[in-house]
Structure 1
Amino acid sequence: MPSPSDRRPVRAFARGSFAEATRVTEVLRKETVGGALLLVGTVIALVWINSPVGDSYTALRDFEVGPASLHLDLSLGTWAADGLLAIFFFVVGLELKREFVAGDLRDPARAALPILAALGGVAVPAVIYVLVNLGTGGGALNGWAIPTATDIAFALAILAIISTHLPTGLRTFLLTLAVVDDLVAVTIIAIFYTADLQLLPLAGALVPLGLFALAVQRRIRSWWLLLPLAAATWVLVHESGVHATVAGVLLGFTVPVIRSAAAGGPDAGPGLAEHFEHRIRPISAGLAVPVFAFFAAGVEIGGLSGLTESLTDPIALGIIAGLVLGKPIGILGTAWLTARFTHATLDDELTWLDVLGVSLLGGIGFTVSLLIGDLAFGAGSTADDHVKVGILTGSLVAGLLAAVLVKSRDRVYEQMAADEAIDADDDGIPDVYQREQEDRDADR
């Protein structure tokens, strides 16, 4: 076994294993379709609410349905934010658990960089927002968490539009980054945006959650059992005052990732998490997130004067600065510092300019940012309208900057993609992945 001094340094943004690269590619393909639908829903909402029949959009969004006896007589907009996004966060929980149990990120050396970069991408935008809004009053500081999240679907839609060949290592980094800061965001929602905590229903939620966990640990897939337990958990978390999307993450965390913990750990084969993710991700990406975007993105701009008023509000300026400046500074800066202190080296043919491009993509904060904006200022308020303008503007600017930078490197990415496709021995695994696996085995 080689001594620590003989081992090759950890390579940042490396390809990882072929199995993981294949899985990430499949996940991102589904999210790209969802991103396109998200964009369509957003455009329809903006056009509709700013048209002569804009009142009908508001009436639809505010139309209430559901049993009042369970305090579930909610508007369609609230159902989208509390209910449909719980599906999205269930997938987030599945994805995060899989990454750290059976994915490449079970290796602490590989996990450190994207986790720390994600945390930097949460902290710096929040600090910038606070600095912009210090002393403004009116509860503006309540929105400090709005620019902290990355919308992976929106970011992938941008990549699809410009038709780029982003390297596998950077795609994996972007996906992990988005998943980790979604987890941080839902933690922030649970801690900082829970105004009236009711302990009895929160404790009661542990019962169906525990039964759901017991069922999935026994590999039970029966929808007629799991769906009622998940719904009961969601209802009780909603009743507790904690945002109901937290239930989605908790349910996702209970699902086993590997087939059998006693059969060899991560190499034992896929578990229920992969099965559920395969079934539910299309619903999340193709229905839940686009419908939420449709109901959340509708903001009445009010012409040029209304747009000017929104964009000069410190709340909107703080969001834009957080997304366009804070996200890339936080992600790139933390990644660079982490690589420097761990003596990690960039993967072949990549430069820190490539990491900057991905960091700018991290500034596309949409779905979760809109959710936090609603919680911070109240849906339909003037501040909430300014929040939406800030999120849309900041995400658009960050996306355009990322598109220009990433597209400028596309020739390099095309060559890397061509190298990854070479399979000289025709065994179904490209040669570059075989060589990297041999290197990892030699270092053990």
Structure 2
Amino acid sequence: MAAAPRTRPPFLGLLPLPERQAVARALRTETVGGLVLLAAAVVALAWANSPFSSAYDAIRDFHFGIPALGLDLSVAHWSADGLLTVFFLVAGIELKRELVVGELRAPARAALPVIAAVCGMAVPAAVYTATAAAGDGSLDGWAVPMATDIAFALAVLAVISTHLPAALRAFLLTLAVVDDLGAILVIAVFFTTDLNLYALVGAFAGLVVFYVLQRLRITGWWWYVPLGIVTWALMYNGGVHATVAGVAMGLILRTTRDEGERRSPAERTGYLLHPLSAGLAVPLFALFAAGVNVSAGALGEVFTSPEPLGVVLGLVLGKILGIFAGTYLAVRFTRATLNPDLAWADVFGLATLAGIGFTVALLIGELAFPAGALGEHVKAAVLVGSLASALLAAVLLRRRNRLYRRLYEEETVDADADGIPDIYQHSACTPSGGDDPSEQREKSG
């Protein structure tokens, strides 16, 4: 008897229940953090352009630390190299989860979002490079428009009250995770200067000890917090951006649960640090990074100087072209088929939303242009490009909000109050390759 033909897996279809619950938990914190981030950016802009701007500059440039250890840094520097390490530690945990139990664990499932994310990084970089080269500008900022800020994007969704289905939100989250990995590699490879091999060997030794402690199942924050701080300080003094230490530790943390464990070490750490990252670390970084001059002259430079203009075009046009074209080509030449409830207009709207590149874009902008007016203009360009992407995405996604609301409500109906949405209890709607709903509930903990 001939085997029945395999059905083509749906792209942006119904997620397996455990994956949907994990995505919902992550995005809930990110959304709240994004609203705090948005507020911090507004405060920074208002403060830096107010009569009290001198106080803002004095606080941002105030130095403190331990000079003997090479850690006498300004407040802005501490927020970028210190607080953002917590953000990148959480990003490392998210990446590890995606690789082990999430959307990236199976090459066939990972191919599509990875291709879309890579195109969504490469095309903005190319747009910046072409714009800067055409205007005889500096090519140093090619990486600025590469990253997507998931927290800011979700804050925009919350503000415009758009109910994206879980699959669209998960796709956006996966894009951001791969973006973060790309940003980490760019920072580690292209913004590493004045290497101190002794300090780097010490940082590597600290990571090895961290790995051994994890494999020996040793618990207790008193082991990991001092070790993490020492590793971070050695990485900083080694000439590699200190946030790389956070990513490395996040990737080392064990993601799978041992028998009898309610949460793995990565889950516990992410649960504790995610609110700290989203609610404190990233907003404080934004407070001292987003305070740029927004006078008519400064805004004029954004659209007349090649470097800032390249950033704006990279975020607004490059992200749309890269993600949409990458997604379309990946679907066209793989076995995947677009969810019949959605249209390519939805992917286009999501690609537009991904043009919000706030936190990591500002960080790379500071690394690429560490001082002077050009650095301030590039920061202003990040704000302008992110705002333009947010407004355009709001218009596009709001037009489809009636459809999104219907799909969202269908996903969340639980008439029998058994803890499993009813849509997962109809065999025709069970995700391809998914578990039985009762098994999914057991796995989700």
Pair 1:386 & 2:377 matched: yes
Contact 1:16 1:433 in 2 (8 A): no
Pair 1:282 & 2:246 matched: no
The alpha-carbon distance between structure 1 residues 2 and 56, as it changes in their structure 2 partners (threshold 3 A), is farther
1:2 positional shift: 9.2
1:25-424 → structure 2 map (5 Å cutoff): 25-134=24-133, 136-137=135-136, 140-260=138-258, 270-301=263-294, 303-379=295-371, 381-423=372-414
CA distance in 2: counterparts of 1:253 and 1:420, whole angstroms: 32
- Secondary structure of the 2:402 match is helix
| RMSD, aligned CA | 2.0
CA distance in 2: counterparts of 1:438 and 1:105, whole angstroms: 16
**Matched pairs, number:** 434
CA distance in 2: counterparts of 1:162 and 1:2, whole angstroms: 51
Unaligned runs of 5+ in 1: none
The alpha-carbon distance between structure 1 residues 313 and 33, as it changes in their structure 2 partners (threshold 3 A), is same
CA distance in 2: counterparts of 1:361 and 1:221, whole angstroms: 40
Q: Which amino acid aligns with 1:95?
A: E
1:422 positional shift: 3.2
CA distance in 2: counterparts of 1:182 and 1:421, whole angstroms: 30
Identical amino acids, percent of aligned pairs: 51
CA distance in 2: counterparts of 1:361 and 1:304, whole angstroms: 26
Q: Under a length normalisation based on structure 1, what TM-score does the superposition of the two structures give?
A: 0.94
- Give the stretch that moved more between structures: 243-252 or 218-227: 218-227
- Secondary structure of the 2:13 match is coil
The alpha-carbon distance between structure 1 residues 195 and 439, as it changes in their structure 2 partners (threshold 3 A), is closer
**CA deviation profile, 1:149-177 (whole Å, cap 9, x unmatched):** 00001000000001111011010000111
CA distance in 2: counterparts of 1:156 and 1:2, whole angstroms: 47
**CA deviation profile, 1:178-235 (whole Å, cap 9, x unmatched):** 0110110011011011122222211111111111222233333311111011011101
Contact 1:133 1:314 in 2 (8 A): yes
Q: Under a length normalisation based on structure 2, what TM-score does the superposition of the two structures give?
A: 0.93
Unaligned runs of 5+ in 2: 436-445
Contact 1:324 1:398 in 2 (8 A): yes
CA distance in 2: counterparts of 1:126 and 1:81, whole angstroms: 22
**CA deviation profile, 1:121-159 (whole Å, cap 9, x unmatched):** 000000000000005446x10000000000001000000
Contact 1:12 1:110 in 2 (8 A): no
The alpha-carbon distance between structure 1 residues 68 and 96, as it changes in their structure 2 partners (threshold 3 A), is same
- Give the stretch that moved more between structures: 307-316 or 157-166: 307-316
1:310 positional shift: 3.2
